[in-house]
Amino acid sequence: MKRKACCALVLLLVWLAFEFAGAGVYAASTGLANAKKQSEAKGFIFEENRADIIAKAKQQGGKIRALSSLDPELFPHMTASFRKKYPFLDVTMVEITGLDANERFLLELKAGVVKDFDVVQLSPERYPEYLPYAKRFDILGMAEQGVLVIEPKMVDPKNRTVVSLATVLFVGAYNKNLLPADKVPTTWDGFLKPEFKGRKMMVDIRPIMYSTFAACPDQGMGVEWMVNYAQKIRAQQPVWVRGYSRTLTSMNAGEYALHSGVYYHTVMRMMQKMPQNNLELKFIEPVPATLFEAEMVLNSSRNPHGGLLFLEHQASAEGQKIIDEREPLKASLHSPGSVAAKQLKGKKVCLNGYDTLQLSSSWEKMALEALGFPGAELK
């Protein structure tokens, strides 16, 4: 009797296991079907499985062209890793850099003459103007359902078609031979001290960092604070500069002692490549951070599903590792294990994210006006 009872119990447990497993599969499939239905009702394209995406990428042709503002030295590493995963797809990355180049491309996009690109990056200053030209893939919905292997936080939650591949952090930088570490500002107001007045520090006239201040009222900043701060920086009579690599080279050579806000990844790259490094950096809280390298698949793409796969690859753990190693140190703060995620852990952050990124252009114009539209003093 005991043996029969034991066998019956085992059979019952097996039956329950199958029942629960079946219920889980049913719930997952129902959730996927509902997500697809809701997405398509809003005019999005929602693929239910990767096999369909891959099959359509094959049908649409094997070539993909991506316009990217990532470091060109990274391109062969990213494309090689993608070809290894999808040997039937051939991707080419083309560099775009600088405000002028982005302005020209946006004009061409609006004129309808861009036909040979599948994936493009969105200039932060003109972010909203690119959105009407995105292929209506519901990238967020597919990421949330596991169809695409992308961390959902990397996707624009409102527009659902854009993925930010990187995060730019800003730090203070200084020449350690000219300025002792204990004299370097530990707050943003510290740059307003009298000892830094009169061409004692550098200020970059592309005010991306200031737009992060405007996006951060929860940290005691915000638009009004940003404008007042820019006006006070102007009163410090700084050395107006443009571009980080060249100015950091000058700083390393001993021409300047302090920079009031520079890309973290640029300082680190310069520190690693200098034969004799005299640079140091300091994280100042709240740490300004802004989403960067936002990319989307173009509506005019000849291989949109191949472009979607390449966008996913760049956002994957493998692609993010390449960005951190080769850019370097610029992978998304939302990518688990990224350098940005590690550096920001436990720190107060001022983030210009998807909810505010579209305001960056207007905020930067306000900052430039407050800074006094420097021109003649540029070095």
> Domain for residue 37, yes or no?
no
Tell me: do 284 and 300 sit in the same domain. Answer: no
pLDDT of residue 379: 41
Tell me: do 145 and 181 sit in the same domain. Answer: no
Pick from 105, 270, 252: nearest CA to 178: 252
Please state the pTM of the whole predicted model.
Answer: 0.87
> Domain for residue 230, yes or no?
yes
> Domain for residue 9, yes or no?
no
pLDDT tens by residue, 95-154: 999 889 999 999 999 999 999 999 999 998 889 999 999 999 999 999 999 999 999 999
pLDDT of residue 62: 87
> Domain for residue 354, yes or no?
yes
pLDDT of residue 218: 95
For tokens 């094997």, the residue is 62
Tell me: do 185 and 264 sit in the same domain. Answer: yes
DSSP strands (E only) in the chain = 63-68, 90-95, 119-121, 163-175, 202-204, 239-241, 258-263, 279-282, 287-297, 349-352
Pick from 141, 137, 139, 136: nearest CA to 35: 141
Tell me: do 49 and 61 sit in the same domain. Answer: yes
> Domain for residue 38, yes or no?
no
Please report, for residues 90, 238, 252, 262, 364, the alpha-carbon distance to residue 190 in angstroms, rounded to integers and kept in the order given.
51, 14, 22, 16, 22
Q: How far apart are CA 154 and CA 93, in angstroms?
A: 21
Q: How far apart are CA 73 and CA 327, in angstroms?
A: 8
Q: How far apart are CA 219 and CA 349, in angstroms?
A: 8
Pick from 379, 346, 356, 378: nearest CA to 210: 356
> Domain for residue 175, yes or no?
yes
> Domain for residue 29, yes or no?
no
Tell me: do 129 and 239 sit in the same domain. Answer: no
Tell me: do 279 and 209 sit in the same domain. Answer: yes
Beta bridge partners of 166: 292, 331
Q: Which residues span the domain enclosing 205? A: 168-289+348-371
Q: Residue 35: enclosing H or E segment and its boundaries? A: helix 2-41
pLDDT of residue 5: 55
Indicate the DSSP class of residue 71: -
pLDDT tens by residue, 238-264: 999 999 999 999 999 999 999 999 999
Tell me: do 172 and 248 sit in the same domain. Answer: yes
CB-facing half-sphere around the CA of 53: CA atoms within 13 A: 23
> Domain for residue 117, yes or no?
yes
pLDDT of residue 374: 56
Tell me: do 196 and 69 sit in the same domain. Answer: no
Tell me: do 284 and 296 sit in the same domain. Answer: no
Mean pLDDT per 10-residue run, the chain (379 residues)? 53 48 54 96 97 96 95 97 97 94 96 96 91 98 98 97 98 98 98 97 95 96 98 97 95 97 96 95 98 97 98 98 96 96 97 93 95 59
Tell me: do 100 and 248 sit in the same domain. Answer: no
Number of domains into which the chain is organized:
2
Residue 70 sits in a domain whose CATH number is 3.40.190.10
Tell me: do 175 and 285 sit in the same domain. Answer: yes
Quick one: 198 exposed, middle or buried, by C-beta within 10 A (0-12, 13-18, 19+)?
Answer: exposed
Pick from 140, 122, 139, 142: nearest CA to 131: 122
Tell me: do 74 and 159 sit in the same domain. Answer: yes
